[in-house]
Amino acid sequence: MFFAERMQRLGTESAFEVLARARELEAQGKHIIHLEIGEPDFDTPAHVRQAAVKAIESGFTHYEPPAGNREFRAAMAAHVTRSRRVEYSADEIVIYPGGKPGIFLGIVALVEPGDEVICPNPGYPIYESVANFAGATPVPIVLREENQWRLDVQELIGLISDRTRLVVLNSPQNPTGGVLTQEDLEAIAAVCIEKDIMVMSDETYETIIYDGQFHSIAAVEGMKERTLIVDCFSKSFAMTGWRLGFSASSGEVAEALTKLMINVNSCTASFTQQAGIAALQGPRDETANMVEVFRQRRDLVIEGLNQIKGISCLKPHGAFYAFPNITGTGYSSNELARKLLDEAGVAVLSGTAFGAHGEGYLRISYAASQDSLREALRRIGGLLG
């Protein structure tokens, strides 16, 4: 079978591979605690589900404009204007089937073969994968525990070359839970403006923040025109399976992304977009409650991890992942992740699933019940004790 050469440059997301292995073990009768997949264990709010059913019943089963339903884009623009504190209009919003299409199409639209794309490492693996696919070179910017997992602006400056086209930011971050401060964003913005570089700001965890306020680089003076915000409903509204995401950018970039949508998807499902309107305009108490429950679980998990021999863990400021340092256990990240799954029935990800600089760490998703988390901590402690 012949495959295009570019297929060899495309990576993957190992969370799905670990999930498959965990399911195999379950099929053999083993009890597995799932802390590998990044998915809220909450149901989509009832008013959102009802809006989708009503939309199907009332005929929202046809094509929508490729960039998205007009009313939804206007509601989305109002939401982004409020939450990012920078003005967006409906023409600057594009709706996608999920968060990943915004990342994929954004990189495809903005990056040329031979360009360099600066990506956080450890970081969400899809940025590097798609940059490679587009023929560009991903350049890792190392995030460090001693810097609270925030990007070091001096290091960023050192990585910029005349081929640097795009810097990818992700705050709150997957996998570390690190959050960039307003000062960080202002310093990064100054560099990008001076060197004429675009930013893709992945704001998927915008609402899942525990300490302080969310800041978007798009709100820094001079940055709106050079920022592509990508975000989705997957985590904030517990809507992973619905496939609903969006981008906010300049109108020019939105037009390019719309052209890609015409070629790839025609449009995002029309009834899903109606559900999106209900999510934006309805009560937000379920999201607020979910974040509060995540906060309690975070405190439980971090305290528990820090009591286990060989493990230490910083308290994450956002998202729903713990990223413990496991160097004191004597195992590599892959070895320990494998041992935990096979011998203790706890599915977690190796830090290296997020790049080479994740070595020495594990990613633990605490989107699971407190009872499951306590049992997982007991099993991990038992294995390492």
Ligand X SMILES: Cc1ncc(COP(=O)(O)O)c(C=O)c1O
Burial profile 237-256: b = 16 or more Cβ within 10 angstroms, e = fewer: bbbbebbbbbbbbbeebbeb
Select from 171, 201, 234, 333 the one that contacts ligand X (CB under 6 A): 234
Q: Which is nearer to ligand X, 232 or 305 (CB)?
A: 232
Distances (CA, A) of 233 to 43, 57, 99, 363: 13, 22, 8, 22
Select from 202, 229, 238, 247 the one that contacts ligand X (CB under 6 A): 202
User: Which span sits near ligand X by CB under 6 A: 4-12, 232-240, 304-312, 335-343?
Assistant: 232-240
Select from 60, 124, 246, 354 the one that contacts ligand X (CB under 6 A): 124
CB–CB of 318/360 below 8 Å? no
Q: Which is nearer to ligand X, 98 or 304 (CB)?
A: 98
Locate tokens 């930011």: which residue?
A: 169
CB of 59 to ligand X, least distance (A): 26
Burial class (CB in 10 A: 0-12, 13-18, 19+), 339: middle
Q: Which is nearer to ligand X, 48 or 384 (CB)?
A: 48
Q: Which is nearer to ligand X, 66 or 318 (CB)?
A: 318
Which of positions 33-62 make contact with ligand X (CB under 6 A)? Answer: 38
Q: How many residues bind ligand X (CB under 6 A)?
A: 13
Select from 98, 106, 316, 358 the one that contacts ligand X (CB under 6 A): 98
- Termini Cα distance of the chain: 50
CB–CB of 347/18 below 8 Å? yes
Select from 69, 174, 274, 350 the one that contacts ligand X (CB under 6 A): 174
Does 363 participate in binding ligand X (rule CB under 6 A)? no
For ligand X, the binding residues (CB under 6 A) are 38, 98-100, 124, 170, 174, 202, 204, 232, 234, 240, 245
